[in-house]
Structure 1
Amino acid sequence: MKAQKKITQKDVVVYDDYDYLFKVVLIGDSGIEKLNLLSRFTKNEFNLKFKSTIGVEFATRSIHVDDKVVKAQIWDTVGQERYRAITSAYYQGVVGALLVYDVTQHVTFENVKRWLKELWGHTDSNIVIMLVGNKADLHHLRAMSTEDAKAFAERESTLFMETSALESMNVENAFTEVLTQIYYVVSRKALDIEDDPVALPKGQTINVDGKDDVLAVKKVRCCSA
């Protein structure tokens, strides 16, 4: 049976069914519209008046990969970047990341190395990372070339895509590609467990990074809201 989360709203009961639940983070410098990327993917909305506040925002959305329903829980640090207040707790359970920079601000790309180092310091080597150049619609203000960013992504073995939250360009593709690649990583882990005679019995949760906290959950039953 698939996981079912029961949500009651005005006597209407909705079942949110999924096979896998993945935690994905948006990281990068403040002011590069990460929150609008999140909003565009999960609600197809863009807000010109978003202001950086201190806290954590997250939203969810489900997609289909092969014949499975993959639910993404996507987190954004919302302004903490300026104070380097992001703690290891934020990265707990993370299996994917969109590392965002602003194509019109070269300094945001220069800081990508620091963000990568932080990711690698708090997550497992199996994490799926995509380098995302946002605001690609602002051609006349571009300060970072696509070729240089792509070359960097290849050197660091990350995925790469340019997006525009404003024009909804490649936003869907970026998130979907990350979630799809995570699914393939977890699927390979599941096959390894099935082939391993000393593996845990089927039906137990699959830990993709070997830590005690489960990062990718297959067929988990959630509590009622």
Structure 2
Amino acid sequence: MERIDASTVGGTTMGVAKRATLVAVKVLSDDGSGSIANIGLGIEYAVNDAKRRNAKAVINMSLGGGASTAFDEMCNDAVREGVTMVVAAGNSGADACSESPARAADVISVAASDSRDDLASFSNHGRCVDIIAPGVGVLGARTKTNSGSVAYSGTSMAAPHVAGAVAVFLGNQSGNPTPAEVREWLETNASEGKINVPTASRPGASCCQTTTRNCNNKCHTVNKLLYVGC
């Protein structure tokens, strides 16, 4: 499978942050498998690279898996080192708090919306989601040729929109904002109430009154859509 995440973050044609410097860090095999240990090494490399270059940095992590305290802490450690970490909320249509690193306390966990402004059917949801971004039919650069584009769907496509927005924000600041300041900027500037997430006053409200855990968790999904001021 081709991965278009980087071109969404900072591609010259379709990227959010077209002037960003991209640093590719491979932590999984070509078939998408890998270990938490290798992912940890990749995170460490990215953090150290930013320090070495004295650069403002954001890490996009369009991957995830089952709940893992070790994985969560690797991501939290990067944030404590001053690097904002944006992660995919997951594509199980379930509670994001059941997967890592989406449930990690200090990351920015991104759910996906579709072209109808609905929360994408596959997107994870719940209290561990921090923001929503487009994640259905996202066009990006092909990785196996030097031309053309390809469309994919997933929270792995939503997260790089947010990472790109963070890169633009960082680039526009004279200093180096902390991850907490980045989070505040995202939350303050996000468009509220634009996505059809079930709440007491929106379609699907009956879902909020059920005792079905997965259904009820949707009602606690933050309704903040990424906005970059365009």
TM-score (norm 2): 0.35
Q: Report the structure number with the largest CA radius of gyration.
A: 1
Please state which structure has a larger fraction of its residues in strand: 1
Structure possessing the higher relative contact order (Cα contacts under 8 Å, 6 or more residues apart) = 1
